[in-house]
A and B are shown apart, each in its own frame.
Chain A
């Protein structure tokens, strides 16, 4: 269905699977399904320039799609509540063991109009993700990874989240 070479899908699958297991996540045991989603991610990388979620319609503007760059901001909440992410690429221990099946779930991402309203309400923080002042009483500002919740007390967020590999721009100021 695409011109993505099968070897590229295979190497990406191996890496994603190894990373997931290393950091306490699991890919779905349905390997064919997983590989189709990985192909989707690689197609989206070609189309948009980043790993836009294969099961959501990307806008094409990275700033607007940041919350759905895989792994998306909604993965962990969906894993907790439903045992799988929206695409069912990542699944719970139970599903991984084959004791349950992933089901289609509602999309946790706010709708386009809700996102527009949210955006208008959040004041633009120029210093987001770069050299912010520490809150009073603390030696450092604290940054939170929006994907996995990892917290880092340091002048700037790390370039890559050590837990889930999300990039610096996915961090928000926490304290």
Chain B
């Protein structure tokens, strides 16, 4: 997991694919908003780490589609939904 520094809005975890356009848009949005977050590029993981991560994502989003954004272990937003993301982060 890669940490990106910024304003603390609680735990923000982005599960993404390094090759995906919507994931990139989501990452750019978080950067623009300047919030602190962790990002995991699931396609870059291999073996057990990949399996474990897929299970973790599936807990929030059964389809394990990307981007999956988990905010404060409470809200899960699937896909680049700009307004929903801003609202959930309170920005």
Contacts and interface: CB of A to CB of B under 8 A. Distances in A.
A54 B66 CA distance: 10
A1 B20 CA distance: 12
Interface in A3-44: 33, 36-37, 39-41, 43-44
Given A57-B54, A58-B43, A104-B80, A33 B21 contact: yes
Nearest to A87: B21
Contact of A111 (B18, B19, B63): B63
A57 B66 contact: yes
B65 interface: yes
A56 B23 CA distance: 11
Given A54-B21, A58-B43, A104 B79 contact: yes
Interface residues of B, number: 19
A55 B19 contact: yes
Given A43-B18, A104-B80, A55 B23 contact: yes
Contacts of B62: 111
Interface residues of A, number: 24
Contacts of B66: 55-57
Looking at B21, B22, B42, B43, which has the most chain A CB atoms within 10 Å of its CB?
B21
Nearest to A42: B19
Interface string B65-89: 1100000000000011100000000
Nearest to A36: B21
A55 B20 contact: yes
Interface string B24-55: 10000000000000000011000000000010
Interface of B: 17-24, 42-43, 54, 62-66, 79-81
